Amino acid sequence: MSLYNGAGQPFPGSHDHIAPDNNEFVDRRSAATAGQQQAERRQFGSSHSGLSPAGRELAVAIDEYKVEHHRRYLTCDEMLSVMTKLGYKKADA
């Protein structure tokens, strides 16, 4: 079934723009070879090279939290939880 708007263009979401002979699925993910572990795909950068040791420790703890809890972003309470587990606490003013 072909769905076109008044201008002769296919509606968004239709597959009329795909060539009819292009029905072969190409898996572009590279499978890990035997004895080789495939790295996890991450949604965020993991370069902590420019950080201080304390900053790097916090960044790694945040990354581990994100992976463990399948989160892309942390709420303020989640960030506070990560920092508390590292031993940070509010100083008395």
pLDDT digits (tens, 9 = 90+) for 4-51: 566 666 666 666 556 666 667 766 666 555 556 555 555 555 678 888
Residue 6 has a pLDDT of: 63
CA atoms within 13 A on the CB side of 63: 15
Residue 58 has a pLDDT of: 93
Residue 24 has a pLDDT of: 74
**pTM over cut 0.75:** no
- Of the pLDDT bands very low, low, confident and very high (cuts 50, 70, 90), residue 2 is low
For the chain, the 3-state helix, strand and coil shares in percent, each to the nearest 5, are: 30, 0, 70
Q: Which three-class secondary structure state does DSSP give residue 55?
A: helix
Q: What is the DSSP letter of 12?
A: T
Is residue 78 predicted with pLDDT exceeding 60? yes
> What does 5-29 look like in DSSP terms, one character per residue?
-TTSPBPTT-STTS-TT-------S
Q: Which residue has the tokens 């991450």?
A: 42
